[in-house]
Structure 1
Amino acid sequence: MVITKLLKKTLVDIKKTLVQFIAVVVVSALGVMLLTGMGVVSGGLSEAVNEYYAESNLADMTAVFQGIDMDGIKKIEDFEGIEAVVPRLSVSADRKDADGSFLLKTIENAQRLNKIVLKDGVFPKGENECLISNSYALENNLMLEDAIKISVNDKTLSLKITGLAESAESAYLIKDASKSIVPDHKSYGLLFIDKSAVISIAGDEIYNELLIKMSDGASADDIGYDMKHKTDSAYGFVETVLKEDQSSYVKIQSDIDTVGSMSKILPYVFFLVAAVIIFISMSRMVQNERGQIGIMKALGVSKSVIRMHYIVYSVIECIIGGIIGNVVGILAIPGLFFDTYSSLYTLPEMKVMGWPAFALASVLFLLLFGIAACFVSIRKSLSIVPAECMRPSPPKKVKYGLIERVPGLWAKLPFRTKITLRNISMNKGRVLLSSIGVIGCVGLLLCGFGLREVTQNCIKSQFEEIQKYDLLVNFAAPFERGEKNYTDNSVKHVDEISLVGVTIQKNDGIRASLYVLNSNNESVRLISHDGGQILLPDDGIVVPHKLAEANGIKKGDKLEARVDSELYGNKSIDVMVASISDMYISQDIYASYTYIKQAGIDLYANGLCLTLNDAADRNVLADEIEENDWVHSVTIKAEMREQMEQLSESTDLIVYIMIFMSACLALAVIFNISSINIFERRRDIATLKVLGYFKNEINSLIYIENFIVTLLGILAGLMFGAFIFKEVLAATESKNMYFPFAVSAEMMILSVALTFLFAIVANLMLRRKIQNIDMIGSLKSIE
């Protein structure tokens, strides 16, 4: 009977405090939406990728050779730690009957490792049949039984398409990372031919890649050592690449980690704010119902039943918010992210998986915050004896504030200001809790604007300040320095460049790209970590800050670097770190020709950096340069920048989402807390109305107090925002990207301005509440 009555009372309480109830539901829903939505995205992407990898049985390691025959392969099969070896030929092929090119790989019908996922058709059975990637076929309107012509190793082959397939190994397919970072399935795809076609392509049964399955507990380093030292030098061992180091694997895993990290930070801001609103609302409700609580206790209703009555109110708020948040989070957020991933990766259909666990966890977290806040808010009232509960609560003891103690200052303040300051002084706890919503609002805004500013600044610095050239000409083969050049009226300056892979012998071996130019070049201007400019030194190398910090490298350190190229005999040289630079898009090492020659290697040039006149047509000139037989490709810097800006557009969506959520936080907290404040001060406001104060003067009492609370929240919010911005920034970085943490004045001004705007909107929403106060009812004595 008592329980039924209390449940009915709960419904009445919800109706009486509908505004506060809705505020908690909205904030709770946002937190749950983020936790469940991002959790589902991370889990869905991870599950799709793991299933794809498991279905494909990806090799643990790929060993690269210049060319190895079956005798060499049989010897490698006997190496300790190797369970299985699958040889293949992997080469580039150009399409002869249309624009485009392929990454050609040989396969077997019963492929044991790196299995191909057949989308349609059948596997090729002879030398004149092939599979092509499904994404390439869709972009180029190719179908089964169509014929294509390709050129590979100076041989032209006519092939019939027998099937469409995709490869987990190449889910993120980029032809040339120096030219593009966004897959272009229109011009580049995968092509698979039967293993029997190796002789027609290579002239003999020669392979250049070995897919290796390692035994349990095997050491990758030991296998790599055996590959290098126990195989015939004629095979030209190049390197071993672990599955975890492949570009496709690294890129996808980076996205999984990013979303997972963000789901562990942002939702709890909303849970905390929801708990604050619940605490303040329940505290006020319990205070207003002291008499009812006293009567129930006097009639024998237990403390646990009374406590449960108020907890049920909080539980209803949390459950409704949890349901709404889960529905929106499951239906909306995954779609936004999955569409982006589908444009980058050729993955199986990503499904919304594992949502029950995330939905349950998010609601449980929310209930934990809500019930804890409710429990704390009613604890004091339940400890009071019934007789005292049934009496009105005594007025708060007035304490002089800090300003009141300043001689002469308090007397000079206007009456309205005194009322505002006195009310803040008497309700310090509530003011502090009220500011938490503002802190969360400012923090989210600062984080959103920071992400956008950092990505924009990094792109600008990389392509305007560091890379001064306009075109990068990549040679088809290395040449002696000075042997190749390009002159044209539209070319302002030309610099030779050499690019080689190096392994720094530190920790487990640090692989990086080494770019070498003349020290007086005009194509590259490196930036030091403190913002100064670095000229290529003749007494050492320049190491990127991220690589140096991750591996404990400092200026002045001496390192051993192995040049990973058979052209230079994989020679190791001793180098010194002369400077540390900031590199944003890729973590590359730079050095001058003079220094590398002093270290013991006279490098060949394998490219040219061209700086053009402002009026030059970059695309036309690039096409003209590519017609030379000594040119492999031309990278247009402007196109690379466009692709980076295209990728960064996703941060704009994040900014808009954070602005919306910040507005919800600020409006919910300020409106909710102010509504309670107005209810508590209704007698003061009614008195001022009777005394003839104008509406604007009365409104200003509430407005000024809200602005003071907002200001206090902003000061703490900027510090909190800097913290979560730093955490989110670290989560969004990939292995090769570096985002320097910096909080600019523009970010802070925008965040503060929008927060004050939200506060103004909340104040305008409060006008009607103030005007609707019943003067007579409010002025009646409560004694």
Structure 2
Amino acid sequence: MKTLNLKVIRDIKVKKGMFLAVTFIIFLGIAIFSSFYMSYLNLKDTYNYFYEQTDFEDISIELTDAPKDVVKEIKKIDGVKEVEGRVSIKGTMELEDQRIALKLISISKQPKINKLVVIGEYPESKSVLLLKKFAEYHNIGVGDSIHVKINGEEIRLRVVGFAYSPEYIWVIEGGELLTSPRTFGVAFIPYSVLEKFGYKNRINEVKITVYDKQRKDEVLNKALNVLKSYSIKNYYTSENQPSNKALQLDLDGFKQLSILFPSFFLLISIFGIYILLTRLVREQINSIAVLRALGISKQTVLTHYLKHSLFIGVVGSIFGVIVGYLTAIMLTAQYTSILNVPYYVAKPHYDVVFLAFLAGITTPLLSGLIAAKSASDVEITQALGGYAEQAFKTDIDRFFKMPLLLRLSIRNLLRNKKRSVYSTFSVVASIVLILISMVFVDSMDLAMDLQFNKILNYDMEVKFNGFVNESVLKEIKSIKGVREAYPLIYTWILIEKGGFSKSASLIGLENQNLYNIYDNKGNVHTPPPRGIILPKMLSSNLSIVKKEKVEFFTEFGKRRIEVYDTIQTPLIPSCYANIDELQKIFGVKGFNTVILRVDEDSKDYVKSRLESYENVLRVDLIGDIKEDIMEMMAFFYVFIFFSLLFGASLGFASIFNTTTVNILERRREIATLKMLGYTNKELSYVLMIENLIIGSLGIIVGLPLGHIAAYAFLNSFQSELYYMPFAIYTKTYVLTIVLVFVVLILSLIPGTRYIQKMDIEKVTKEVIS
């Protein structure tokens, strides 16, 4: 047995390039699985640990106004663990000549729900805690003072520390396209400061935790019943809390990627190992016959050739798990660095390590078993004569007169169909992997184009703290540099049906050309003359159809409206209604947002003028919003780059393996052609023609298959929080084809070098012997 073990090592050394290529594919598959799945678990553990340590809310209810003592009634509900009432109001602050909207939230000295992780001190009178990422963005330090305007009154607050809140791991406010620290911040302030602004012994938010998480909905319904006389604006359980919901959807996507991508590599490795070991068995068929004649059992031969597969699996899995674990730590640290969390959890997940080893070892063993079984079943008398490749005959020459080298290429492809199919499949898998990665880039690009070049056809938007009338709009239109200005009602709604509820932003607008309604296919829609347009994702989740009357909660309480139409809107799904009808339904006059188109050289002046208005909450430039989104997408594009790199590596390793086997099997043929006077360059052309044919077949199959796979994969990521229209641009298909052929040509380099260094005399002697 020791001698056979040494033979395994010798076999691997002789064919180290081929074994390395197959091991590399296993390594990539295990490394991607380990890194992605451990990152998914690390992020999940990070969020859960943070929620657990801070006693994250189970239920949240927003009200217009209610007495502070109402929490005592809620506390009596069976199943309620803790309940707290608080005040949350909007304010503004000026930083670097820019007005910023600030959400001020009251906190007690010892909160029992949504506890803060504080760097610094808890605030007392005239002091404040700022969300850490917001403070970092604006370079605000402990000890600095900020001036905040609340309901027209300015107060000076000293920053005594920074906070991390479980409610704002990912900051989402009011269903906006993007909530950026550039224009929005969160501050935590003593209740005694906020009660001076009309909230003495009053609250407008209730937070609840429960003993039994399975009874959240039951407790929520009872709490809503207690608060029904206080104009409820919004409510949700922790699963639908905006930040938590976005994070969980993101985690789901991570989980899908961690399973899908490695599957490609492990599947390709099955064929690669089979071809490698089959070639090895054919080369050593005489040795196998001798071993069997000397009394070595079939089981011993089977085990011997399985050791090659075991080596591939063990080495690939060990390095894959190590690299995957280290990569998972890096990915977790990098991803959490853009979130509002004070720490991250990164640990070895031994169940993932076990699964990775199981997949990494089982996969090559299963594929190697076929080749090993053929070795153990060898008949001694037949094997002593050596392996003879079956002659391949074709009538192709009758119909096509082709040069000898081209005929050799085609004949070789048809002679070993299994290897040709594997090579083609490798190209197909690479294309599918590339298109699955690129569909996110193209779809996001299309969504951004729709959003910023067609839907948002304006330069600037002004958000007011409350509603303003037509006189303000006239004043804005009179500002020098303003070309067009139109009013909007921008708010959010919570639609309720059959015990289920979904939230979305609601935009009330008139028929104009600055804010356009587009669906995911690029079709434009006009504002409805009556009723509301709902996003299809939301309407399908609640089983809502056209002309149906639905009930919804808003900042004005519970209302009712008819569904005019349902469309699939790109990016952040929004509801649309006629501004005049919304004013009637809400019982308000005026609007809370104005959109403007201004002269390019007047943007700074117009922005400055608008920010001087007392009731302006903030002014957003559309260019800045787009810039913020692209900045946040940087991590996403790095991920796509590595996905493309993995796809190219998969193609290179698999094609390199089959090309090398191809050359080894055809050494006698190549040696004969060299003796007949064919140059190394001409023989390299034979290999190149074969690879080009394989590449062409792979492209013919891979492009439509990749298109279907990319469509299915993108749709699996769609949610009620965001929707990306499907798109794969023509240039992406062209770049994919170019990349495939580049990889195919690069994989020929080791083979052509082997041909150049081939010793004809040595090969001839080997054949004769």
Q: Is the 8 A contact 1:455 1:648 kept in 2?
A: no
Task: Please say which of residues 765-774 and 27-36 is displaced more in the overlay.
Answer: 765-774
Q: Is the 8 A contact 1:69 1:207 kept in 2?
A: yes
- The residue aligned with 1:637 is 622
Task: Please tell me whether residue 514 in structure 1 is matched to residue 506 in structure 2.
Answer: yes
Q: Tell me the number of residue pairs that the alignment of Structure 1 and Structure 2 aligns.
A: 763
Which aligned pairs between 1:470-619 and structure 2 lie closer than 5 A? 470-480=459-469, 484-485=473-474, 486-487=476-477, 488-507=479-498, 508-518=500-510, 520-538=511-529, 541-553=532-544, 557-565=546-554, 567=556, 570-577=558-565, 580=567, 582-593=568-579, 604-619=589-604
Instruction: Give deviations 1:482-515, integer Å, cap 9, x for gaps.
Output: 7633213422222221234334444513322221
Which of 634, 640, 646 is the matching residue for 1:655?
640
Q: Is the 8 A contact 1:491 1:610 kept in 2?
A: no
Task: Please say which of residues 266-275 and 615-624 is displaced more in the overlay.
Answer: 615-624
Which of 211, 214, 217 is the matching residue for 2:210?
214
Instruction: Give deviations 1:56-114, integer Å, cap 9, x for gaps.
Output: 11121112222322442222323355333112222334458997665333333332211
TM-score by length of 2: 0.91
Task: Please say which of residues 217-226 and 761-770 is displaced more in the overlay.
Answer: 217-226
Q: Is the 8 A contact 1:254 1:735 kept in 2?
A: no
Q: Distance in 2 between matches of 1:173 and 1:772?
A: 62
Offset, 1:735: 4.0
Offset, 1:677: 0.8
- Residues 718 and 171 of structure 1: CA distance in aligned 2, closer, same or farther (over 3 Å): same
Q: Distance in 2 between matches of 1:9 and 1:566?
A: 78
Q: Distance in 2 between matches of 1:243 and 1:229?
A: 19
Q: Is the 8 A contact 1:132 1:165 kept in 2?
A: yes
- The residue aligned with 2:439 is 450
Which of 333, 337, 346 is the matching residue for 1:342?
337
Q: Is the 8 A contact 1:155 1:201 kept in 2?
A: no
Instruction: Give deviations 1:352-398, integer Å, cap 9, x for gaps.
Output: 22343323321220111100110012222322322222222243143
Offset, 1:550: 4.2
Which aligned pairs between 1:160-171 and structure 2 lie closer than 5 A? 163-171=161-169
- The residue aligned with 1:109 is 109
Q: Distance in 2 between matches of 1:747 and 1:420?
A: 30
- Residues 138 and 517 of structure 1: CA distance in aligned 2, closer, same or farther (over 3 Å): closer
Offset, 1:148: 5.7
Which aligned pairs between 1:744-783 and structure 2 lie closer than 5 A? 744-780=729-765, 781-782=767-768
Q: Distance in 2 between matches of 1:628 and 1:734?
A: 38
- The residue aligned with 2:662 is 677
Which aligned pairs between 1:416-455 and structure 2 lie closer than 5 A? 416-455=405-444
- Residues 708 and 109 of structure 1: CA distance in aligned 2, closer, same or farther (over 3 Å): same
- What amino acid maps onto 1:576 in structure 2? Y
- Residues 363 and 231 of structure 1: CA distance in aligned 2, closer, same or farther (over 3 Å): closer
Q: Is the 8 A contact 1:37 1:330 kept in 2?
A: yes
Offset, 1:474: 1.9
Offset, 1:623: 2.4
Offset, 1:12: 0.6
Offset, 1:249: 1.0
Offset, 1:302: 2.0
Q: Distance in 1 between matches of 2:286 and 2:470?
A: 93
Which aligned pairs between 1:104-503 and structure 2 lie closer than 5 A? 104-121=104-121, 123-124=122-123, 127-128=125-126, 130-135=128-133, 150-152=148-150, 163-173=161-171, 178=176, 180-184=178-182, 188-193=185-190, 195=191, 199-200=195-196, 202=198, 204-216=200-212, 220-231=216-227, 233=229, 235-343=230-338, 345-400=339-394, 403=396, 408-410=398-400, 412-480=401-469, 484-485=473-474, 486-487=476-477, 488-503=479-494
Q: Distance in 1 between matches of 2:367 and 2:751?
A: 26
Q: Structure 2 unaligned runs (5+)?
A: none
Q: Is the 8 A contact 1:72 1:232 kept in 2?
A: no
Q: Structure 1 unaligned runs (5+)?
A: none
Offset, 1:209: 1.4
- Residues 353 and 293 of structure 1: CA distance in aligned 2, closer, same or farther (over 3 Å): same
Q: Distance in 1 between matches of 2:389 and 2:246?
A: 63
Offset, 1:657: 1.2
- Residues 692 and 141 of structure 1: CA distance in aligned 2, closer, same or farther (over 3 Å): closer
Offset, 1:472: 1.8
- The residue aligned with 1:736 is 721
Offset, 1:428: 0.8
Offset, 1:624: 1.1
Q: Distance in 1 between matches of 2:327 and 2:18?
A: 26
- What amino acid maps onto 2:550 in structure 1? A
- Residues 156 and 49 of structure 1: CA distance in aligned 2, closer, same or farther (over 3 Å): same
- Residues 12 and 31 of structure 1: CA distance in aligned 2, closer, same or farther (over 3 Å): same
- Residues 10 and 566 of structure 1: CA distance in aligned 2, closer, same or farther (over 3 Å): closer
- What amino acid maps onto 1:65 in structure 2? L
Q: Distance in 2 between matches of 1:631 and 1:95?
A: 11
Q: Is the 8 A contact 1:438 1:713 kept in 2?
A: yes
Q: Distance in 2 between matches of 1:737 and 1:4?
A: 61
The alignment-based identity, stated in percent, is: 23
Q: Is the 8 A contact 1:505 1:560 kept in 2?
A: no
Q: Distance in 1 between matches of 2:687 and 2:177?
A: 59
Which aligned pairs between 1:56-71 and structure 2 lie closer than 5 A? 56-71=54-69
Instruction: Give deviations 1:526-563, integer Å, cap 9, x for gaps.
Output: 22454332222425543334334544555xx2222335
Q: Distance in 1 between matches of 2:95 and 2:446?
A: 42
Q: Is the 8 A contact 1:169 1:248 kept in 2?
A: yes
Q: Distance in 2 between matches of 1:265 and 1:323?
A: 21
- Residues 279 and 183 of structure 1: CA distance in aligned 2, closer, same or farther (over 3 Å): farther
> Helix, strand or coil: the match of 1:275?
helix
- Residues 473 and 712 of structure 1: CA distance in aligned 2, closer, same or farther (over 3 Å): same
Instruction: Give deviations 1:609-638, integer Å, cap 9, x for gaps.
Output: 434244343243122112122432222211
- What amino acid maps onto 1:18 in structure 2? K
Task: Please say which of residues 690-699 and 527-536 is displaced more in the overlay.
Answer: 527-536
Task: Please say which of residues 4-13 and 251-260 is displaced more in the overlay.
Answer: 251-260
- The residue aligned with 2:684 is 699
Q: Distance in 2 between matches of 1:57 and 1:214?
A: 11
- Residues 212 and 154 of structure 1: CA distance in aligned 2, closer, same or farther (over 3 Å): same
Instruction: Give deviations 1:214-242, integer Å, cap 9, x for gaps.
Output: 35276555555544554473x43322232
Q: Is the 8 A contact 1:442 1:755 kept in 2?
A: yes
- What amino acid maps onto 2:25 in structure 1? V
> Helix, strand or coil: the match of 2:683?
helix
Aligned Cα RMSD in Å? Answer: 3.0
- Residues 613 and 566 of structure 1: CA distance in aligned 2, closer, same or farther (over 3 Å): closer
